[in-house]
């Protein structure tokens, strides 16, 4: 994390100084709710510069996904290397990765550029498998690539409960199973596991995410909002964790800060179209357009 020592976790952005740099490796959502659009909004709200390696273009609105066009694996790898070798990266996160071939290309590019594994750059893997509307964003055959290639390289993995079921076959309906899932996922090799509790509907008033480092468990509790507009919530969470790590925070502090961020993005979620609206970090924006121009 070159040159970031003095930034710590909380220094304001400074004119003329390069902010922390974070790369998202993810797909696009034409509805602007999830994927790359969500990541870049979250990065801006979290005070970091966002770079992008696109893996797939989805044809999508608030109702669902009607088309997916994947990017050639070598082009995904080339985007990562172009950014890492010039701009430099303080953290990297993944979103929709679509296929095994793309995952393999990403792992090779990460190994060449010091991202994840034994490299210096923190690597947050959000194992995106499906959209909120239930449309698949990952080939079923690519689950092995997550388990065997991405997870061992990851600093933090951030599955929701549907992804937990796909990855380790545990159906989480209570806290006890959430703990067992964290342990099973940690055995696949990541440094930290965050089992997100948003889909644990048995928790009627709270939403508890569980962080596990292989040794100790930390429960992060927040309110549960009665809203269907949570499109892009996982993307925002992982992007905020990556931003905190890029600012120099340790993983537990970055996750705790990201949870606070996410609670507000869900509080500020909004309807859009006829289906699921997005969570939103727009509450962080200062309304500069109301201020007098020309000064
Ligand atoms: O929120 C997960 C996600 C990530 N990336 C893309 C998506 C979605 C959910 O719909 O469309 C491109």
Query: What are the chain's domains?
Result: 21-225+241-283 (3.40.1190.20)
133 CA from centroid of ligand 1 (Å): 10
215 CA from centroid of ligand 1 (Å): 31
pLDDT, tens digit (0-9, with 9 covering 90-100), for 14-45 = 899 999 999 999 999 999 999 999 999 999 99
Alpha-carbon gap, residue 193 to 198, rounded angstroms: 15
Residue 293: per-residue pLDDT: 78
120 CA from centroid of ligand 1 (Å): 27
29 CA from centroid of ligand 1 (Å): 7
Residue 3: per-residue pLDDT: 44
| C-beta neighbour count of 215 within 10 angstroms | 6
Alpha-carbon gap, residue 12 to 151, rounded angstroms: 33
| 109-113, 134-138, 179-183, 262-266, range with the lowest pLDDT | 134-138
Burial (Cβ within 10 Å: 0-12, 13-18, ≥19) of residue 272: middle
pLDDT, tens digit (0-9, with 9 covering 90-100), for 63-100 = 999 999 999 999 999 999 999 999 999 999 999 999 99
- The protein residue with its alpha carbon nearest to ligand 1, atom 10, reads 131
pLDDT, tens digit (0-9, with 9 covering 90-100), for 173-221 = 999 999 999 999 999 999 999 999 999 999 999 999 999 999 999 999 9
Average model confidence (pLDDT) for the chain?
Answer: 94
Q: Using a 6 Å cutoff on CB, does residue 235 contact ligand 1?
A: yes
Grade residue 278 by pLDDT with cuts at 50, 70 and 90. Answer: very high
- The protein residue with its alpha carbon nearest to ligand 1, atom 9, reads 131
């Amino acid at each position: 994390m070159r040159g970031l020592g003095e930034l710590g976790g909380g220094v304001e952005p400074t004119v003329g100084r390069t902010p922390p740099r974070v790369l998202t490796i993810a797909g696009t959502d034409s509805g602007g709710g999830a994927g790359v659009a969500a990541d870049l909004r979250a990065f801006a709200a979290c005070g970091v510069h966002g770079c992008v390696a696109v893996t797939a273009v989805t044809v999508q609105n608030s109702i669902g996904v009607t088309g997916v066009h994947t990017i050639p694996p070598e082009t995904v790898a080339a985007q990562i290397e172009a950014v890492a070798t010039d701009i430099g990266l303080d953290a990297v996160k993944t979103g929709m990765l679509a296929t095994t071939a793309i995952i393999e290309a990403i792992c090779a590019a990460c190994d060449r550029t010091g991202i994840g594994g034994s490299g210096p750059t923190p690597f947050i893997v959000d194992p995106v498998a499906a959209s909120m509307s239930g449309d698949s964003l990952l080939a079923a055959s690519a689950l092995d690539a997550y388990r065997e290639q991405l997870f061992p390289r990851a600093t933090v993995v951030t599955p929701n409960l549907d992804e937990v079921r796909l990855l380790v076959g545990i159906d989480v309906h209570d806290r006890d199973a959430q703990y067992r899932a964290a342990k099973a996922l940690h055995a696949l090799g990541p440094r930290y596991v965050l089992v997100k509790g948003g889909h644990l509907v048995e928790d009627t008033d709270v939403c508890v995410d569980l962080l596990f480092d292989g040794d100790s468990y930390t429960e992060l509790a927040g309110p549960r909002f009665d809203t269907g507009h949570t499109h892009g919530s996982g993307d925002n969470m992982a992007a905020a964790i990556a931003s905190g790590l890029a600012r120099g925070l340790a993983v537990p502090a970055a996750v705790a800060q990201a949870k606070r961020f996410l609670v507000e993005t869900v509080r500020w979620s909004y309807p859009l179209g006829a289906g699921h609206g997005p969570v939103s970090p727009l509450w962080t924006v200062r309304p500069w357009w109301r201020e007098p121009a020309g000064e």
